[in-house]
Chain A
């Protein structure tokens, strides 16, 4: 039995987080799932959303972009294209991004090429705002 769980959040720009945690909650594409130490090996894609983990009984939140997570009994590696900690998110910018995306989306129809792109941008902005709202 593994006695601790290591978490690594890797983005192209940097190692966003690295450390021993008690629990991780990952926004998988098939639904959110939690990981404790000793988890079965799992490979899941990660959706745009909110990732959280507990370290020393304190919860930390990250807004993550699409990617995937690799889980083994002792280690969780999350590879995402961006990851922002809740207290480092620029709320104003996220707010503006959301408004912009909503406006654009209202004008587009589902068949437009742009539609998917704007929809993803909107999801991202919403995720960032949600995470930024945590304390």
Chain B
């Protein structure tokens, strides 16, 4: 009879787990929605920004700007964007593995590598494995442009001050709800801005620039960094919640399967217990009748 009780207890436990995973799925879904709205409302800003940046880059050469300075990449920094919380499938792990591989390769070449983790999972992972600077954690709950600006302020002055030579940004690219792909962008030196729109530019209006086009471009470059970082942040949040939704959906489904098979087992054990008891009674009465 003990077995029966055990199974019953197990069923209740799995039920409770299912309740939790289901709730988490719904929370992730609503957070995902907010993150998606954020990504969508960022799009016009980013698009407009790139348009102006490109049209400016067509007119002036920004080659001498300190953010574009190419140096021998002796000292490398890596921004590693992960979520603060777990339970979102392989979301963080895939990224961390990619970062780890990258670091190993660079260290193998004799470079100096430091990590700037954004998100708790990344910091925890690298705490004992690598050099960490300017860690930021518990930031994704509520963030705005000032976070991107803050991160930029951590990385721009030391790059200009030649404290390091290259900066990479690792984050999870948001493909769709179910798919996030670890991606890497080189932030510094900034890649030269696309100049291939030459023909279209002739159709463009000739602007009066205030200040000069060159100065304007120099002002826009740090903002370009903000845009890149902000986009990565927004994609990370959307991806994290998308990944969690998928993971929790899976977990809920697994719970249901487990409950089903456990219930089946429970019924079988119960039935066999009843049968055994009946056999006992029948056996007993028959023995009595014979006697």
Question: Which residues of A approach B to under 8 Å, CB–CB?
Answer: 10-15, 28-30, 33, 40-45, 66-68, 70, 72, 77, 79, 81-82, 113, 117
Contacts and interface: CB of A to CB of B under 8 A. Distances in A.
B48 A44 contact: no
A113 B38 contact: no
A13 B157 contact: no
Contact of A45 (B42, B208, B210): B210
Interface of B: 38, 41-42, 44-46, 48-49, 52, 56, 144-146, 148-149, 153, 157, 205-211, 215-216, 219-220, 223, 226-227, 230
Contact of B223 (A15, A41, A42, A81): A81
A68 B215 CA distance: 12
Contacts of B46: 12
B205 A29 contact: no
B41 A15 contact: yes
A41 B206 contact: yes
Contact of A42 (B48, B52, B210, B230): B210
Given A13-B41, A13-B144, A43-B216, A66 B223 contact: yes
A41 B52 contact: no
A14 B42 CA distance: 7
Nearest to B206: A41
B216 A79 contact: no
Nearest to B213: A43
Contacts of B146: 82
Contacts of B208: 40-43
B48 A13 contact: no
Contact of A13 (B38, B153, B223): B38
Contact of A68 (B157, B216, B227, B230): B216
A68 B145 contact: no
Given A44-B209, A68-B52, A113-B157, A12 B220 contact: no
B209 A43 contact: yes
A11 B42 CA distance: 8
Contact of A43 (B145, B157, B207, B227): B207
A79 B157 contact: no
B67 to A, nearest CB: 16
B52 A45 contact: no
16 contacts: A11-B145, A12-B144, A12-B148, A13-B144, A15-B41, A30-B210, A41-B205, A42-B209, A43-B52, A43-B210, A44-B211, A45-B211, A66-B219, A70-B207, A77-B48, A82-B146
A12 B219 contact: no
Contact of A14 (B41, B148, B215): B41
